Chains A and B, each alone.
Chain A
Amino acid sequence: MERYYNKEIECAPREQLRAMQSERLVSQVRHVWDNVPYYRHKMEEAGVSPADIKSIDDITKLPFLKKDDLRESYPDGLRGVPAKQCVRIHSTSGTTGKRVVAFYTKEDIDLWDTCVARALVAAGITDEDVVQVCYGYGLFTGGLGLHGGAEKLGCLVLPMSSGTTDRQLQFMEDLKSTVLCCTPSYAAYLAETINERGLRDRIHLRRGIFGAEAWSEDMRASIESSLGLKAHDIYGLTELSGPGVAYECSVQKGMHINEDHFYAEIIDPDTGESLPLGSKGELVITSLTKKGFPLLRYRTRDICILSDEKCACGRTFVKMSRPMGRSDDMLIIKGVNVFPSQIETVLLQQGYPANYQIIVDRVNNSDTLDVLVEMTAENFSDSLSKITAKEKALVAEMKSMLGIYANVHLVTPKSITRSEGKAVRVIDKRKI
């Protein structure tokens, strides 16, 4: 039998939801107009005022927010309430090094936890479960996001954070974890390690909540059979709160969007034109309730399809397909957002030419990032220690900018492949 965390909302009639969205949008637009000069200015430029927004149908009159807007308004130009009313920030990578900082009030955290709790219940998780959270804790939303939702639901939470596989496995066995939360690639890695060490009979996992990176049905099947659990997808982004914007129910055909908090649209990424349900396009999300960081019509750059087909689970929230790609050049590597422009910024700062190549692959279910960089006469030296020191500095800067390790390979100048005069910057060999 399907279980719900907020049945009256998750299964509300569409008209009721629509009315709630209209009411919330009107009030959110007023809040933003009054408190976020950056967006108010955008509205003025577009010739829209709060008086023009009478229902959810008027949403298309509002201007879009893009990642560049978030970067331009760094650090707090889009904050919707005084810092004193905020209780937390989270942060994600920006396009050229400046990060995006998202603010949360106490109520924002609470509604986020609620969204995550709905996702957990939809995956069949109860307050009897022991939830092992292996997402990173800190600026990244994965760890604290799943943590908050699981705690709200009343689960026993193991705040493991990422890494240290030996400790993960020891706690998993000794504390009898029943739920695993991490990236699908880490789940696959754990599965492999568990089977290699013959621990399969000593673990008690029955559910997995895996998000923050692209994965396929094949990968799901492989994780499910090797760990003996049922794997559920979860979607979200820091700009809008974190994981829990959308979640999978028992039907597992798309993710329900928490529509009382997030309004979803699909647009043509090239023209910005709204597309009807069922079309493939860029997902645009409006935060209807968040006050600390109230984003209106945020372009996620994720390409997907929305559907309002009746779901057998009983929920009436529209569903989004898994993201099928990006409308920008952002890469998601080990769950971390990486922009080629960030790599370029580091290279230029370190005195290397901006002619580089990024190779992403997945080896033993773990993403790898290799960066080919052209050597220059200025950076070359007859001294091995000088070359090595420079290479180490480059790797360290890259790690600091991206948050993940990149294998840097220096190559002969002008040897990086160019097609039609234009360099091929990114080669993604992952088969997802």
Chain B
Amino acid sequence: MEVRQISVFLENRSGQLAHICRIIADAGLNMKALNRAETSDDGIVRLITDKPEKTVKVLADDGLVCSCTDVVAISVPDVPGGLAGVLEEIARKNISIEYMYSMMGNDGNNHAIMVFQTVEQADVFSKAGLDVLKGKDLGITEA
């Protein structure tokens, strides 16, 4: 797995998401992606920052419940049908996606970045001929 993602429990109360972002901002951390998933009453915020371990520390210090998960970031051609092609390739390998979301920035070659969570390992994506990005490609400075 190439990229560490931080998941934070988000209770259903106004200002909670702003609170989380403020903690991250005050710690001088740079957010690269944010995805929000909700149940009927609460939810999860999934984050990628430049320093995952420090992020976990500052969030936990504030009393928030969070955990780390490894995800796969893939470069997707930013052209019509770019994502469809990538997903078709994933489907051909019978990889089932638990969730996915997009990430900020591109690699300079007119490619977008998608983050995937699956039960399979990252090398399955590489073997499928997909362009798996490393943490350093995404500006993640912490090892």
Contact = CB atoms under 8 A, between A and B. Distances in A.
Given A387-B39, A391-B41, A380 B65 contact: yes
Main secondary structure of the interface of B (DSSP, over half): strand
A415 interface: yes
Nearest to B99: A384
A409 B39 contact: no
Interface string A373-387: 001110011111001
B53 interface: no
Given A382-B44, A384-B37, A388-B39, A376 B65 contact: yes
Interface residues of B, number: 24
A391 B11 CA distance: 13
B69 A382 contact: yes
A388 B67 CA distance: 17
A407 B46 CA distance: 25
Given A409-B42, A410-B9, 15 more contacts: A375-B9, A375-B11, A381-B7, A382-B67, A383-B98, A384-B43, A384-B44, A391-B41, A407-B41, A408-B41, A409-B12, A411-B42, A412-B16, A413-B64, A415-B63
A380 B67 contact: yes
B67 A381 contact: yes
A170 B66 CA distance: 53
A54 interface: no
A414 B11 CA distance: 12
Interface string A340-382: 0000000000000000000000000000000000011100111
A51 to B, nearest CB: 62
Interface of A: 375-377, 380-384, 387-388, 391, 407-415
Contacts of A414: 63
B9 A412 contact: yes
A409 B11 contact: yes
Contacts of A388: 39-40
Contacts of B127: none
Contacts of A387: 39, 42, 44
A199 B131 CA distance: 68
Given A412-B64, A413-B63, A382 B46 contact: yes
A412 B67 contact: no
Interface string B29-43: 000000001011111
Contacts of B44: 382, 384, 387
A222 B7 CA distance: 51
A409 B63 contact: no
A409 B67 CA distance: 20
A413 B64 CA distance: 7
Given A384-B39, A391-B39, A375 B65 contact: yes
A407 B12 CA distance: 13
B39 A380 contact: no
19 contacts: A376-B65, A377-B65, A377-B67, A380-B7, A380-B65, A380-B66, A380-B67, A382-B5, A383-B98, A384-B39, A384-B44, A391-B41, A409-B12, A409-B42, A410-B11, A411-B11, A411-B42, A412-B9, A412-B63
A410 B63 CA distance: 14
B92 interface: no
Interface string B11-51: 11100100000000000000000000101111110100000
Contacts of B12: 409
B42 to A, nearest CB: 5
A16 to B, nearest CB: 61
Most chain A CB inside 10 Å of its own CB: which residue of B41, B66, B98: B41
Contacts of B40: 388
The list of the 5 closest CB pairs from A to B, nearest first, reads A382-B7, A382-B69, A411-B11, A380-B65, A375-B9
Contacts of B7: 380-382
B69 to A, nearest CB: 4
A368 to B, nearest CB: 14
B11 A412 contact: yes
A387 B44 CA distance: 9
Interface in B53-67: 63-67
